[in-house]
Amino acid sequence: MEKTLVILKPDAMERKIVGEIISMIEKKTYTISHMQIKELNDDDLSYHYAEHKDKPFFPSLASYMKRGPVVVMVVEGENAIKGFRKLTGATDPLDAENGSIRGRFALTKDENIIHASDSPESAEREINFFVHGKRQ
């Protein structure tokens, strides 16, 4: 059984669509084995988005992610990483399939509702950090 880390971003909380997104996850027969509501801080974001820290869009990304609480989940299932990325949809909602989470709910590329791990290595690192408080 594969695991992936999923974050429902502040706009999902603000728009009160967390339940609808969780329903989509469960209808695909994934199991949510961990869920918590969390406020992210600068340290969390610098670690999580380390590859983007020096890019010009990082300050606005950090501001967006600190705007309000997020829902952090560990989602499990067969081929959970690849399958969940498909369910999530393309980063730009204009490119996302209509039935995907971003296709249904995201309004802009910058505020795109959801994060999902992109590889087994990222999933392990992200789960260790967000769930167990461990840095690799």
Q: pLDDT tens digits for the chain (136 residues)?
A: 999 999 999 999 999 999 999 999 999 999 999 999 999 999 999 999 999 999 999 999 999 999 999 999 999 999 999 999 999 999 999 999 999 999 999 999 999 999 999 999 999 999 999 999 999 8
- What pLDDT is attached to residue 74? 98
Write down the domain spans for the chain. Answer: 2-39+70-132
Long-range contacts of 108-114 (CB under 8 A, 24+ apart): 110/57, 110/60, 110/61, 110/64, 111/9, 111/11, 111/64, 112/9, 113/8, 113/9, 113/11, 113/12, 113/17, 113/21, 114/6, 114/7, 114/8, 114/9, 114/12, 114/21, 114/88
Active site residue 132: no
Catalytic-labelled residue, pool 48, 52, 115, 132: 115
In this prediction, residue 95 carries a pLDDT of: 97
The confidence score (pLDDT) of residue 136 equals 80
Return the pLDDT at 65. 97
* CATH code, residues 2-39+70-132: 3.30.70.141
